[in-house]
Homo-oligomer: A and B are copies of this chain.
Amino acid sequence: MSRTAGSSGAKTLAAIREAGLQLIYEHGYEAMTLRRLAREVGLQPGSLYNHIATKQELLFDLIHNHMITLLESLDKALEGHTAPVESLKAFTAFHLTYHIERKREVFIGSAELRSLDPENRDIIVDLRRTYEDRLCAILDAGRASGDFVVEDVRVATYAILAMLTGICTWYDPGGRIDREALIRIHERLVLDGVTKNR
């Protein structure tokens, strides 16, 4: 046997990425074998190396792509909002939506940080920090304008992110609660948490 009829590099690579994403999400990077991945895509193990350099590079590629897309989408979602309250609402809605829609990428992006080689990890950690800084800036602005009352901006940032991100680990898109309701509930939780109202 040899090259298969109809085979195309771009298509195969996309299939490898998708299958890799799913397998790493389900079993973890270490537990995913390239033989299993190859079988899923319909290839022999060695043939994977026509498309990826190493297993590690595939992982980094998946996470890096995710982080870039996440940041670009966020900046688009925040465009046009100037008032801190509106920005915070926009952030919350975006974060929830994205984390529900890209559940697997998000999960891998944090759970598999430790599976990355040090240099690769550093790059991703930097991008994560940039994302956090966006929320930090909103809280800072709201504090300056008097809209928010926050004891410690960094703590509030992490608390909010932790709460919102935690959702994607249990939320069931086909379940009892629809996305709009979920966003509404959390907008209130987040706003109440940073608003003076005693």
Q: Are B177 and A167 in contact (CB under 8 A)?
A: no
A112 to B, closest residue via Cβ: B28
Binds B, one of A7-15, A67-75, A136-144, A154-162: A154-162
A25 to B, closest residue via Cβ: B114
Enumerate chain A interface residues (CB-CB to B < 8 A): 26-28, 30-31, 111, 114-115, 151-152, 155-156, 158-167, 169-170, 177, 181-182, 185-186, 188-189, 192-193, 195, 197-198
Q: Are A155 and B177 in contact (CB under 8 A)?
A: yes
Interface centre among A26, A170, A195, by most chain B C-beta atoms within 10 angstroms, is A170
Residues of chain B with a CB closer than 8 A to A159's CB = 163, 166-167, 185-186, 189
CB distance from A147 to the nearest CB of B (A): 15
**How far is A181 from B154 in the complex, measured between Cα atoms in Å?**
13
CB distance from A167 to the nearest CB of B (A): 6
Q: Are B186 and A197 in contact (CB under 8 A)?
A: no
**How far is A156 from B186 in the complex, measured between Cα atoms in Å?**
9
Chief secondary structure at chain A's binding surface? helix
Given contacts A166-B166, A197-B198, 7 further A-B pairs with CB under 8 A are A26-B114, A27-B114, A28-B28, A28-B30, A156-B185, A158-B166, A162-B162
**How far is A4 from B163 in the complex, measured between Cα atoms in Å?**
50
Closest 3 CB pairs of A and B: A162-B166, A163-B163, A30-B30
**How far is A158 from B175 in the complex, measured between Cα atoms in Å?**
15
Contact of A162 among B163, B181, B197 (CB under 8 A): B163
Contact of A30 among B31, B163, B165, B186 (CB under 8 A): B31
